């Protein structure tokens, strides 16, 4: 980012002005690089913020006016720059899909989901999930709870008991920071459990 600062040194004949010193006096940890350059008679502040930084930085500089080798006057000024954060989308990093190798009806499956969101606190994030066939995995049979830290979620789902044939179902995860959303689709094959045949006795006599 480049900012003209000539207006802050208008009291001088700009062709006679040289930069004596400059420094960041507030939030220097938010800046990767800083320079002040003179182009013609105009001065510019060049700022490169650090990745994901936000806040206000203040720069102080001293300039002096020299004529015929004699320093006539010097002055110190400050310049404030506000750095606005850019909202990066949250990201679903990984899902432990090993449990998907055998998903049985009427049995709960747990998956560990790891996410990343550098801009938002845990309280601002939401993770939800839906099944492609809610006759096999209805919404009431899906739950998501916090894991071991703010970047881990535990996804639980339970296919209903054997009412239809086996089939392929997908679960779609949604991770939102309130503005941007990341998704991940998990494919699974639901296997019927072995339900014993009921034997009905009747009096044949």
Give pLDDT, residue 201. 39
Q: How far apart are alpha carbons 145 and 96 in whole angstroms?
A: 15
Give pLDDT, residue 10. 46
Q: Name which of 81, 139, 147 is nearest 113 in CA terms.
A: 147
Give pLDDT, residue 69. 65
Q: Name which of 125, 123, 142, 138 is nearest 182 in CA terms.
A: 125
For residue 77, give every residue at least 6 positions away whose Cβ sits within 8 Å of its Cβ, in sequence order, or none.
Answer: 5, 8, 9, 60, 61, 63
Give pLDDT, residue 204. 39
Give pLDDT, residue 5. 56
Give pLDDT, residue 73. 62
Give pLDDT, residue 113. 95
pLDDT along the chain (205 residues), means of 10: 52 55 78 77 76 79 68 70 79 90 84 87 86 90 94 93 70 89 89 55 40
Give pLDDT, residue 139. 93
Give pLDDT, residue 126. 92
Q: How far apart are alpha carbons 203 and 44 in whole angstroms?
A: 102
pTM for the whole thing?
A: 0.60
């Amino acid at each position: 980012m480049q900012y003209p600062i000539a207006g802050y040194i208008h009291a001088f004949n700009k062709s006679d002005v040289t930069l004596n010193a400059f420094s960041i006096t507030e939030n220097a940890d938010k800046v990767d690089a800083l320079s002040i350059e003179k182009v013609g008679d105009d001065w510019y502040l060049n700022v490169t913020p650090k990745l994901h930084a936000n806040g206000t930085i203040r720069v102080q500089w001293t300039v002096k006016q020299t004529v015929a080798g004699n320093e006539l006057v010097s002055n110190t000024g400050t310049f404030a720059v506000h750095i606005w954060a850019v909202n990066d989308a949250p990201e679903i990093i990984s899902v432990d899909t090993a449990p998907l190798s055998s998903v049985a009806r009427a049995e709960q499956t747990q998956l560990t989901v790891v996410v990343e969101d550098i801009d938002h606190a845990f309280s601002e994030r939401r993770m939800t999930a839906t099944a492609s066939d809610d006759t096999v995995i209805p919404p009431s049979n899906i739950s998501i709870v916090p894991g071991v830290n703010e970047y881990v979620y535990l996804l639980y789902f339970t296919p209903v008991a054997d009412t239809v044939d086996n089939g392929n179902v997908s679960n779609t995860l949604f991770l939102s920071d309130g503005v941007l959303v990341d998704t991940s689709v998990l494919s699974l094959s639901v296997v019927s459990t072995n339900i014993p045949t009921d034997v009905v006795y009747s009096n044949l006599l």
